[in-house]
Structure 1
């Protein structure tokens, strides 16, 4: 096959004004106009009304290009658009060649006889908003939703573009994936994949399949060779002669791998990858395709128990404690992420002892590089289909569009072993139940319980779950938390105290979260002089009553700081406290609770949000708190203020454990350990085990820190958790002088040492971009902690350390 790539600089013209601008493909017109200074960028956080006009206009993209005689002479000549956002009519040399209506799918058009040596390509993109309004009007029924505008429900377009409770409204317009011309003889292939027919310790049977497209009107013979490689070694080979029928047809064969190596989630074994290659040779043409293969069996198991039914994701016979985050797109610009950007983000997720990412249904299907990185690191992916928070139309035309999208998604991404579950949507069960009150079947019910379910039947590598959350019933209020998965939003969403997390005994927490401000790096980039109630900062908060809730939760844990910078510091600690409180509870219940997925991983603009990593790529304290909480094996103490007895839990979700737990009671007044307890522990299976009770009575909450340590049988310290007996504002902290030194390491990383003369609460390095091995921890008097930063500190960066001891508060609270 011969390929001519049409990426690069095109010319985009506003149809209304006639103004022309250089435009990048892949790209979006809003991004181009921001970079050219025509529009303000996202750091002008009041930019939304200033840029909205772009989405209401039609835009024409065009470019000229030349094709070689060799390419033009190809038996088949096709133009491929891997992604257009969204409604476009496409012309080549003045002739219509096709149209697009779904930004999640690729399109292929026959241009044989139309393409010439010199060509003019025109892509006329309609206003997405105006087009969607017309579709809504034609539908004739009012649809309900949360977030954005109701017309968004009628388009197969990234839903978050119309604004969400963490994101700005930037309804993108553009050609966001590659454009190319492909020429070939006789045949081409696509969508190489596989099914795992059976696997045992001795052998695995893999059914490989792919589609052959025969562009001739008659059948012909082709030699097909399938090879599975383990590294450079071929471990299974199958050669066949097939009769390639005219048109498109899927061909498959079975291969046997001796002594197979399985793909395991992070923390449970090697994420072993094989490589499947198919080579097809006919009389006049040949091609080869390849994909990764991960041998694993995935099941959802829901055994009955006294509470209801568990929700267990089982991989290779092991019930996995799923620890991780919800993923929204990394940028305002869907699918413009690079392999390196994905690598950095997913390595950081793995470094935080997380093993699952839920790709949320209001964003986009990420690029192959995203899934390849998850494949490599053993990160499981819960993949939503792209529907979120609303009534979706379910007429025949829309249902057929959804079916085509689902077929494409399964064919395109289904070979990635990291995807362990397809899910029909995000939070649309509520809307189904609501609309069932006025129609027999709720809006979208047909899509999730019929169309998508039926498409996913062909995928035997992973199960399908119709909606999230889902309690196995059309009346979720009766069984909330006892069945299926749960989005827990009483905390934050209804402003309940985060201590109520211990009353939430959901079987799988697929969403929960607590907000905080971003780092001062981001705040200062917006406006270094503004106070926290400046309109620029208010605009960064998209959640209803969000500012009020931030202050409510923060003053529950801390005295009010006297400066903006210190308020941001303690507010971020509040987020960390709340998430830790909930996550410790849920992981301590494994297998009765088997999942804790935090909302959300990162920000896609300068936002006040639930993110663990802000838009400046600074990791908040909550990232490091979660890293320590999610580690395995681990030990956690569930201490309740005012109660003399606490429960201790050994978390050994990665298997059997034998070792020792040491508890130290540290007195802030004397800076000494005043009591130590030691306990031998032994536990079996992939679960959590409750240990003997811990007596904390008789200690003053104002002057006591409890350190709980987990040691191996050989005495190595594996985990250390620090607890207060009350709220942080009760602590009587002495001034602590923090000393920081840095040293470059031979491998290019940076060693940072932090020392203190007195106990320092939540000692942290501020505004550091990148990945530290640890941060925001408690230091005892005289202690030095060494942490490693991947790479070097930025040129001219002045490292700054802070602790709760140094926070100055207003006097009357």
Structure 2
């Protein structure tokens, strides 16, 4: 019989230990964590999903039991696989203890062949993690250097870290919340005499030929053969059989399959994502029936790295643009496919090609990486180690290595997987408080040793950040920029900016859902007149992690006009965050002060954070409701594959940057527009040619000599056919000094494309949608953009909404233009 895998996802019940035995709640969907189930039964309110977690604090005070029944499995042998248990659990089958669990990041497998009855009852009891921690002690030398919660291998931000009962945790819950329960599938496997226990399938290019290497090991009582099928778009293009070598109680087969001139997998924006399906089938020699099979998807790509973090993929220079990805939810760690798909859509729309899977996050399922393969999104994958030092004993370190090994074996075949990283800020975090980075040997030596065995050809980065004279040295490796709260040298052109951070509230309609009270309380005037006073209303500040100096991460909000209401304050913080993204992002895109080789320029930019785990007022460019405000669209623009920018260092200069897949040839219209006189003061057309992966000085504009600070600089990039590619608008004075007339916007629509014009200069044109009262779920291919008078801006309507009313306005106008939309 062929090996069978059955998801145990029906008939489950949940019980709060200490209540009556008849008090079991039906679990309507598995996997589900305790909070999911209590929300489903309306024992918890929707407030918990919004991060108001006071009513859910009691969950961690109790033990919880999950129970289900299943029939005796077919086949000689059987096992239970627990893909995700959070975290401390004892497992029982038919009343007998069969295993225990103590690591969030590790799956468990328990053979039950001799324990099964005709009818079986599986019970999982989850224990109190806070009680467990209370009985544990750190060695004295680690007490001031290591967070005690790190003794348990569970996500760092599942614990209340120094926040009070009314204060936001770092991730955004008020107060902190500790999930518990089943977060991934529980599977019943059955088989007879033969199974696959380990495999490694890799695809690589050798010259113009593709090589698929395979190695498979397993258990068998008979001679064994392995059939390998290579498919593309459902068609078999290779089919071979290999007789396995007999080992003690098992078998091993290995070999290579060659494909001449294979189709290539490319990162998004650099070509198609061609994928091959590899199917391994194992059976007894000379027989037809398959006993076990596995299926993997691979892609051929040639990756070169002349210096660390400078990637050349299939002969093209590829700099990494993306975001640092936190967990997609906080109240549960169960994967939510719809949320993931929306994130992928927003990542693509933002011109990103890379996701950094944060070391303080959670494991993501196979389908997430399969989607990255299909879309061409590169993966910077960190092992699950977070800010600051760790216990440094060998037993603890080897547990971390075991987690990493499981991750490597599961993910190493993916075409999208670009690199491994040893964690987030584990070394830098210790340096910040002047402590030794205990446990650093895990990332510096134990992880590399494991990777040399299991995935030796992929790049490994010790930590993020890491490199240079000190851990966060911008000149080498990668760095995290916190220039808003730190002062440090060499930050102008960082080698690789893997975290770029500022703070702003989300869009108004999101903010209204996450705060308590009015957006603008009576008597509040927004003025900051004394030290220690908050720069936002108190009920907004309740969603900021104040211990992380959350407010100080704001952009230069004082450069904008004084606020008079909630909308003007939202604009002030959003625009200042957007301006910081533009300034820092343009420096990274330009990459060096003078023209330099690809290997000597900045190599990447990552937004921090990409998304919110809980509703929050902090730094994410995609909020909890998966909406984008000014920072999201500022990021999208600064990551445009081909773009132009002004540099005002020792002279006024215009640069063009090309990070697309091909050389660029076109034209730039550039000049000065005076906001006060509403006149063009200068205008010229310049040819531009930029090689793939390069940056070119288009013109030194010192011949402009001097001009009024009422002027804005503009540069409009067009391709050879005259199509608009990118528009850059730069201000030479702060916004609160500049005059802005009502722009008198007009809007038309054809299909799913808006055409927007302005009679006068329009600052930060905002597009919003409303579908039968729902303002969420809209997405546009540009938003919150400046618009020169007389220009037409075409904006495509994306997102999941198929009809509604589109509103267009600018912050310095009371007029709103509305138009109906039906897809």
> What TM-score range do you get, normalising by the shorter chain?
0.7 to 0.9
**What residue is the counterpart of 1:155 in the other structure?**
152
SS in 1 for 2:182: coil
CA contact (8 A) 1:195 1:207 kept: yes
Distance 2:427 2:25 in 1: 44
Q: TM-score, normalised by structure 1?
A: 0.88
- 2:647 aligned residue (638, 641, 649): 638
Shift of 1:125: 0.9
Q: Is residue 2:793 matched to residue 1:785?
A: yes
**Structure 1 Cα separation of the partners of residues 377 and 510 of structure 2:** 29
CA 725–612 in structure 1, closer or farther in 2 if over 3 Å, else same: same
Equivalent of residue 598 in structure 1, options 593, 603, 607: 607
Alpha-carbon distance in 2 for matches of 1:396, 1:678: 65
Q: Name the SS of the counterpart of 1:171 in structure 2.
A: coil
Deviation of the 1:268 alpha carbon: 2.3
3-state SS of paired residue (1:167): coil
Match of 1:468 in 2: 464
What is the SS of the residue equivalent to 2:381?
strand
Q: Secondary structure at the match of 2:343?
A: helix
Map 1:426-441 onto structure 2 (within 5 A).
426-431=424-429
1:67 equivalent to 2:71? Answer yes
Aligned partner of 1:451 among 437, 446, 451: 446
Cα distance in 2 for partners of 1:436, 1:666 equals 51
Match of 1:307 in 2: none
Q: 1:50 deviation in Å?
A: 3.6
Cα displacement (A) at 1:78: 1.0
Are the structure 2 counterparts of residues 733 and 382 from structure 1 closer, same or farther at C-alpha, using a change threshold of 3 Å? same
In structure 1, distance between residues paired with 2:336 and 2:250 = 32
Alignment partner, residue 811 of structure 1: none
Among 459, 481, 489, the alignment partner of 2:474 is 481
1:119-140 residue CA offsets vs partner (Å, 9 max, x unmatched): 22110111122223434x1655
Q: Please point out which of 471, 478, 493 is paired with 1:505.
A: 493
CA distance in 2 between counterparts of 1:415 and 1:365 reads 17
Aligned length: 767
In the alignment, structure 1 residue 187 sits paired with structure 2 residue 194: yes
Counterpart CA distance in 1 for 2:435 and 2:678 is 63
Deviations 1:123-168 (A, max 9, x none): 0111122223434x1655434569xxx2321222222222553432
CA shift in 2, pair 1:765/1:105, >3 Å: same
SS in 1 for 2:368: helix
Measure the CA separation in 1 of the matches of 2:456 and 2:814.
56
Q: Describe the shift of the 1:798–1:251 C-alpha distance in structure 2 as closer, same or farther (beyond 3 A).
A: same
TM-score (norm 2): 0.87
Deviation at 1:328?
Answer: 0.6
Q: Is the contact between residue 86 and residue 157 of structure 1 (CA under 8 Å) also seen in structure 2?
A: yes
CA distance in 2, matches of 1:802, 1:127: 52
Conservation of the 8 A alpha-carbon contact between 1:502 and 1:582: no
| Alignment match, 1:204 | 210
> Equivalences for 1:166-245 in 2 at 5 Å?
166-168=171-173, 169-189=176-196, 192-196=199-203, 198-201=205-208, 203-214=209-220, 219-245=221-247
Deviations 1:742-781 (A, max 9, x none): 56x3xxxx44343433221111114553321211112233
* Structure 2 CA distance for partners of 1:435 and 1:705, relative to 1, 3 Å: closer
Q: Residues 631 and 118 of structure 1: is their aligned pair in 2 closer, same or farther, counting only changes over 3 Å?
A: same
How many Å separate the matches in 1 of 2:226 and 2:255? 10
Query: Given the superposition, is the C-alpha separation of residues 546 and 43 from structure 1 closer, same or farther in structure 2, using an over 3 Å criterion?
Result: farther
Ranges in structure 1 where 5+ consecutive residues have no aligned partner: 303-309, 809-813
Query: C-alpha distance in 2, partners of 1:727/1:553?
Result: 13
Deviation at 1:597, TM superposition (A): 0.8
Structure 1 residue 197: deviation in Å? 5.8
Asked if structure 1 preserves the Cα contact closer than 8 Å seen for 2:474 and 2:491, the reply is: no
Q: Matched residue of 2:196: which SS?
A: strand
Q: State the partner residue of 1:614.
A: 623
Could you tell me which residue of structure 2 aligns to residue 531 of structure 1?
520
Query: Would the aligned equivalents of 1:190 and 1:212 in 2 still touch at CA under 8 Å?
Result: yes
Give the conservation status (yes or no) of the 8 Å contact 1:663–1:677. yes
* 2:502 equivalent to 1:514: yes
- Structure 1 counterpart of 2:262: 260
1:318 to partner: Cα distance:
3.7
Single out whichever of 706-715 and 384-393 deviates more from structure 2: 706-715
Task: Write the distance in 2 (CA, Å) between the matches of 1:735 and 1:409.
Answer: 56
Aligned CA distance change for structure 1 residues 264 and 45 (closer, same or farther; 3 Å): closer
Q: Deviations over 1:759-806 (max 9, x none)?
A: 2111111455332121111223354433222256477x6543331322
Partners of 1:143 and 1:390 within 8 A in 2? no
- Residue equivalent to 1:4: 6
CA distance in 1, matches of 2:588, 2:793: 29
2:386 to 385, 388, 392: 388
Match of 2:416 in 1: 418
Mapped to 2, the partners of 1:236 and 1:5 lie a distance apart of 32
Deviation at 1:528, TM superposition (A): 6.2
Map of 1:51 onto structure 2: 56
Residues of 2 paired with 1:83 and 1:328: CA distance?
A: 18
CA deviations 1:258-279 (Å, max 9, x no partner) are 1122222222232221111111
Q: 1:431 to 1:530 in 2, by over 3 A?
A: closer
Shift of residue 357 of structure 1?
0.9
Moved more, 232-241 or 406-415: 232-241
1:681-700 alignment runs, 5 A limit: 681-695=688-702, 696-700=704-708
* 1:596 Cα deviation after fit: 0.7
Query: 203-212 or 377-386: which moved more?
Result: 203-212
Q: Which one of 363, 372, 376 corresponds to residue 374 of structure 1?
A: 372
Give the C-alpha shift of residue 586 in structure 1: 0.7
The Cα shift of 1:502 comes to 9.0
**Corresponding residue for 2:683?**
676
| 5+ long unaligned stretches in structure 2 | 161-168, 522-535, 593-597, 769-774, 816-823
The DSSP-based 3-state class of the residue aligned with 1:806 is: coil
Answer with 271-280 or 799-808: which moved more.
799-808
Give the distance between the partners of 2:356 and 2:548, measured in 1 at CA.
Answer: 26
- Deviations along 1:282-322, one digit per CA (max 9) or x if unpaired, are 257522211111112334432xxxxxxx7413333444211
User: Which residue number in structure 2 is paired with residue 296 of structure 1?
Assistant: 301
Preserved contact between residue 653 and residue 699 of structure 2 (Cα < 8 Å): no
Does the Cα contact within 8 Å between 1:42 and 1:605 map onto a contact in 2?
no
Partners of 1:326 and 1:358 within 8 A in 2: yes
> Whole-Å Cα distance in 1 between the matches of residues 83 and 387 of structure 2?
27
8 Å CA contact 1:298–1:462 kept in 2: the answer is: no
Please give the secondary structure, in 2, of the residue aligned with 1:805.
coil
CA distance 1:248–1:221, change in 2 (3 Å): closer
How far off its partner does 1:488 sit? 1.2
**Counterpart secondary structure, 2:59:** helix
CA RMSD of aligned residues (A): 2.9
Q: CA deviation at 1:62?
A: 1.7
In structure 2, relative to structure 1, the CA distance for the partners of 1:314 and 1:335 (3 Å cut) is farther
Partner SS for 1:734: coil
Paired residues of 2:263 and 2:300 also in contact (CA < 8 A): yes
What is the CA deviation profile of residues 565-610 of structure 1, one whole-angstrom value per residue up to 9, with x for unaligned ones?
2211232121111111100011101631111111011112221121
Equivalent position of 1:626 in the other structure: 635
Give the 5 Å matches for 1:644-793: 645-652=652-659, 654-695=661-702, 696-702=704-710, 704-740=711-747, 745=751, 750-766=752-768, 769-790=777-798, 793=801
Q: Could you give the per-residue CA deviations for residues 468-510 of structure 1, whole angstroms, max 9, x where no partner exists?
A: 111156x437xx112111111122x33x7xxx99942221111
1:55 and 1:311 map into 2 onto residues whose CA distance is 42
